[in-house]
Amino acid sequence: STIYLKDYQAPDYWIDTTHLTFDLHEDHTLVTAVLQMRLNEAVNCGEALPALTLHGEDLDLVSLHRDGEELENDRYQLVKGSLTLPVEQPRFQLQIVTRIRPQENTSLEGLYKSNGMFCTQCEAEGFRKITYYLDRPDVMSVFTTKVIASQARYPVLLANGNAIDRGELDNDRHYVTWEDPFKKPSYLFALVAGDLEYVEDHFTTMNGREVTLRLFTESHNIHKCDHAMISLKKSMKWDEDVYGREYDLDIFMIVAVDHFNMGAMENKGLNIFNSSCVLASPETATDATYQKIEAIVAHEYFHNWSGNRVTCRDWFQLSLKEGFTVFRDAEFSADMNSRGVKRIQDASVLRTAQFAEDAGPMAHPIRPESFIEISNFYTLTVYEKGCEVVRMIHTLLGADKFRKGTDLYFDRHDGEAATCEDFVKAMEDASGVDLTQFRNWYSQSGTPVVTVTDRYEAETGDYHLTIAQSCPATPGQEHKKPFHIPLGLALLDEQGQLLPLNAEGDKEQVLSIKQSEETFVFKGCKSKPLPSLLRNFSAPVRVRYDYSKDDLVFLMKHDTDSFNRWDACQRLGVMAIEQLVERFDEQAEQAVDSQLLDAFGVLIADPKLEHAVKAEMLCLPTEASLAEQAEVIKPLAIVAARKKVKQAIAETHSAALLALYNQLSHERDYCPEAADIAERTLKNVCLGYLAALDDAESLQRMAAQYNGASNMTDRRAALGCIVDARHRDEHLVEQVLTDFYDRYKDDANVMDGWFAVQSGSAELGTVEKVQALMQHDSFDPTSPNKLRSLIGGFTGNMARFHTTGGAGYEFLADRVIELDKQNPQVASRVMMPLTRWKKFEPVASGLMKKALQRIKAVHDLSTDVYEVVNKSL
Ligand code: ARG
Ligand code: ZN
């Protein structure tokens, strides 16, 4: 059944306080909930008190008391998903005892077990698997949690807030009681019980309060917590400096767990993390992982204000906390590392994956209007496009007014469950900027297309720039109103200098585009300028402008905006590859575009360009991004054409690439700082090109890097290169894969990479190989990380997944059907690639559709898979 935003109603009752007692046992857990209930007078002022309906799933109700009186089972109704009971007083107390089985909970929602420890994941609607409750974010309550368990098995007992009591009980059992003074919705509840160790540090807040910081993990991983702890302290400082936000409890805890559906969760005072997003050592984590950890630790910490102190009224408002918090963590990462590169990476993900989502059958606005299963809406659209929408407000208001806006927002709504509208209103009220039309970003889905044309008048020196916008139809939204688009602009003269754009002499401007078409005139141009459009990726739109290859090469050299230099390079790459894709069926040998080859030569040799930006520019558009930009996706042609261009670049510039590789290959202690990361990244991009050469020497170089590596970044890069090298050596491939396995078989997070490198390999990643790996001793079929690595690696492997006459699709359909019974959230995520079936060339498209139809025919699908399969067929 579909739930609509327009049907939102405030709850009939509030829950002022929630007292929970968890009695944890090996075969079951008893949960006692004592709830102080109060009528919501704003909704109900009639004489009759409405019945109370609580959410609940997979619960055994042991007993139910209302104001001390036991209600027998003829006094309430228990149906799938809810418990309804009569109410006689506007204020009353409920005592509910339920029995649950965490050890059998494979959905990883609610209370479950991971490697012998108890942990929880309640967002969005997992709390209802713990007890009967008003499991909705607008019901905020003060929680007290007593956890009772075996002292030997579970020496550490954690919940939200501050520990207020602890003690020993009979039979080697003990307890700890936690109290969280801040009102919160049930989705922010957390509990952990396990045999854990911790590292401890401290942070003194801007007002001089001492906060204890603890990071918990299994003892064998305790040496991998330093980076997350450093990241946490940086985040706490940054949020004080940039947003004036101070931490509010005496203790902040992070717990690492191996079995987790997503990245991490911002539970009040007790963040729970997927171990892959928190644990790092130089030997086991790549640079990318180090940066991911820094970003996610910050993201969850920042939620303490944008999410917890001010939470969401309902799940349609999810982007209120997620879009804003992603914006906050992106700016934090930009401040800690290379700002230009962070922007390139984020824009690249958005354009590749979010644009694809917005063009597919599940397209939705950042504030969806309806859903069947909310778990399906933790999307790139809500998170990443949501971030871009907040960024556009930041751009339109400027940093100072934006900060006034966030101050007002936090001040107005502290302790409340708010809406996206509240956020925009606070921004308007604080800045005086009219965001009426801007609100279309919240209600309309689809990626706007901005088409730019220009005209130069030599006699007057006037340059006319005409900007037209449109947005393709998306499910349920045939026609769109124009968006309010901030469009970053500069004009380059023939020497590559930026021209003044106005009387003040500004050389960069953000045009505020509001009409379906408008023209801007720039005066005093001595010759026709070249426009640099959408600088810094100022809006989540596609820009169409008829750049010639010469224009793009020019922008690559002269543009002062890192994002646009990179984008010019990508556009040139896309042109060169698409040219080969179009002629893929013709037998004749097709030459690779010489302008591209020349431009890459200049790029490789450029002594002034920042290493990190150079590395990004040297990476050809990914297969996924080529697919996203194609009218019709031809997988084989894309793989072959991209490979051919890569080989041509490698062959043409082998000497320069090798020289650069050697220059960057010097021994030094591992340090995950931006400058070092940039050097390693560029070096490994060079190695990737060398792997595209057909010579034995390059292979030896890769083997040498693999064997000599002192950190995981270099070892993983070399492994990937060896596996997919052009000059293949089966024996070497076997040898390094075995070596890698022997070194890291006891480290679950590193082994994820071992599975991914194989299933994602154009050479190795066959259906048979993936099937065999699923039977491997180190493959844990209950671990979302393993499933994502192996199955996700394979579905992202364009050379294999799409080119097996449908065997890949059938394999995926089998996995989805099987997984749906175990973990619906993961099942629904891994099937996403099939939902893009309409964009593929006919044969592949038909086979993908067939696989979807087979999933659809299964009885008792979860709401997760049901929604995705039905919307995509
Ligand atoms: N709020 C979490 C975060 O932003 C994500 C939790 C998602 N959980 C889920 N079941 N979909 O990091
Ligand atoms: Zn989040």
Which pLDDT score, from 0 to 100, does residue 328 have? 99
Which ligand 1 atom is nearest residue 296's CA? Answer: 12
Judge contact between 328 and 432, C-beta under 8 A.
no
| Residue 60: alpha-carbon gap to chain centroid | 35
Angle (CA) 200 206 211, round 5°: 25
How many CB atoms are located within 10 Å of the residue 707 CB? 12
Alpha carbon distance 179, 192 (integer Å): 14
Per-residue pLDDT for 587 more than 80? no
Cβ 378 under 6 angstroms from ligand 1: yes
**Greater pLDDT, 825 or 805:** 825
Q: What is the pLDDT of residues 139-184, one digit of tens each?
A: 999 999 999 999 999 999 999 999 999 999 999 999 999 999 999 9
Which pLDDT score, from 0 to 100, does residue 602 have? 98
CA of 99 to the centre of ligand 2 (A): 30
Q: Which of 43, 37, 35 is nearest to 14 (CA)?
A: 37
CA dihedral 432, 437, 439, 444 (to 10 degrees): -170
Which of 108, 122, 123 best tests ligand 1's pocket when mutated (most atoms within 8 Å of CB)? 123
Which pLDDT score, from 0 to 100, does residue 804 have? 76
ipTM over 0.90: yes
Per-residue pLDDT for 562 more than 80? yes
Q: Which residues pair with 96 in a beta bridge?
A: 33, 64
CA of 388 to the centre of ligand 2 (A): 15
CA of 299 to the centre of ligand 2 (A): 6
Cβ 324 under 6 angstroms from ligand 1: no
Average pLDDT over residues 480-509: 97
Q: Which of 259, 207, 217, 214 is nearest to 232 (CA)?
A: 214
Per-residue pLDDT for 340 more than 90? yes
Cβ 190 under 6 angstroms from ligand 1: no
Nearest alpha carbon, ligand 1 atom 2: 265
Cβ 306 under 6 angstroms from ligand 1: no
Q: What is the pLDDT of residues 590-624, one digit of tens each?
A: 899 999 999 999 999 999 999 999 999 999 999 99
Q: E strands within 185-317? A: 191-194, 197-204, 210-217, 251-257, 264-265, 270-274, 311-312
Distances (CA, A) of 213 to 4, 164, 430, 688: 41, 17, 35, 41
Judge contact between 80 and 59, C-beta under 8 A.
no
Per-residue pLDDT for 585 more than 90? no
CA of 322 to the centre of ligand 1 (A): 9
DSSP class of 80: T
Distances (CA, A) of 780 to 101, 116, 371, 741: 21, 15, 32, 15
Nearest alpha carbon, ligand 1 atom 3: 265
Q: What is the pLDDT of residues 422-473, one digit of tens each?
A: 999 999 999 999 999 999 999 999 999 999 999 999 999 999 999 999 999 9
Which pLDDT score, from 0 to 100, does residue 590 have? 86
Which of 112, 257, 265, 293 best tests ligand 1's pocket when mutated (most atoms within 8 Å of CB)? 265
Which pLDDT score, from 0 to 100, does residue 803 have? 83
Judge contact between 542 and 625, C-beta under 8 A.
no
Which ligand 1 atom is nearest residue 383's CA? Answer: 4
Cβ 125 under 6 angstroms from ligand 1: no
Q: Is 531 exposed, middle or buried (0-12, 13-18, 19+ CB in 10 A)?
A: buried
Average pLDDT over residues 70-88: 97
CA of 349 to the centre of ligand 1 (A): 19
pLDDT band at residue 588 using 50, 70 and 90 as cut-offs: confident
CA of 491 to the centre of ligand 1 (A): 42
pLDDT band at residue 586 using 50, 70 and 90 as cut-offs: confident
Cβ 366 under 6 angstroms from ligand 1: no
274, two tokens: 């997927």
Catalytic, out of 109, 266, 300, 623? 300
Which pLDDT score, from 0 to 100, does residue 468 have? 98
Alpha carbon distance 117, 136 (integer Å): 27
Which ligand 1 atom is nearest residue 299's CA? Answer: 12
Alpha carbon distance 349, 290 (integer Å): 18
Which pLDDT score, from 0 to 100, does residue 46 have? 75
How many CB atoms are located within 10 Å of the residue 524 CB? 10
Nearest alpha carbon, ligand 1 atom 5: 265
Which ligand 1 atom is nearest residue 109's CA? Answer: 10
* Catalytic residue flag (residue 300): yes
Parallel, antiparallel or unpaired: strands 29-39 and 13-24: antiparallel
Alpha carbon distance 712, 701 (integer Å): 17
Cβ 124 under 6 angstroms from ligand 1: yes
106, two tokens: 């494979």
Alpha carbon distance 199, 481 (integer Å): 53
pLDDT band at residue 276 using 50, 70 and 90 as cut-offs: very high
Per-residue pLDDT for 776 more than 90? yes
pLDDT band at residue 345 using 50, 70 and 90 as cut-offs: very high
CA of 633 to the centre of ligand 1 (A): 32
Residues of the chain above pLDDT 90, percent: 98
114, two tokens: 């991971």
Which pLDDT score, from 0 to 100, does residue 186 have? 99
Average pLDDT over residues 385-413: 99
Per-residue pLDDT for 837 more than 80? yes
Cβ 835 under 6 angstroms from ligand 1: no
459 φ/ψ angles, rounded to the nearest 5 degrees: -60, -45
Please list, in sequence order, all residues whose beta carbon lies within 8 angstroms of the beta carbon of residue 318, skipping any fewer than 6 positions away.
Answer: 124, 312, 374, 377, 378, 382
Which residue type occupies 608? Answer: K
Judge contact between 309 and 414, C-beta under 8 A.
yes
Looking at all shown ligands, the one closest to residue 829's CA atom is 1
Cβ 262 under 6 angstroms from ligand 1: yes
Which residue type occupies 749? Answer: N
Rg of the Cα atoms in the chain:
28
Q: Which of 821, 815, 782 is nearest to 258 (CA)?
A: 782
Q: What is the pLDDT of residues 183-198, one digit of tens each?
A: 999 999 999 999 999 9
Per-residue pLDDT for 44 more than 80? no
pLDDT band at residue 589 using 50, 70 and 90 as cut-offs: confident
CA of 600 to the centre of ligand 1 (A): 41
Which pLDDT score, from 0 to 100, does residue 43 have? 86
pLDDT band at residue 667 using 50, 70 and 90 as cut-offs: confident
Alpha carbon distance 780, 787 (integer Å): 8
Nearest alpha carbon, ligand 1 atom 1: 265
Which ligand 1 atom is nearest residue 265's CA? Answer: 2
Cβ 242 under 6 angstroms from ligand 1: no
Looking at all shown ligands, the one closest to residue 824's CA atom is 1
Which pLDDT score, from 0 to 100, does residue 229 have? 99
Nearest alpha carbon, ligand 1 atom 8: 123
Per-residue pLDDT for 45 more than 80? no
Average pLDDT over residues 282-294: 98
Cβ 601 under 6 angstroms from ligand 1: no
Cβ 266 under 6 angstroms from ligand 1: yes
Cβ 123 under 6 angstroms from ligand 1: yes
CA of 569 to the centre of ligand 1 (A): 35
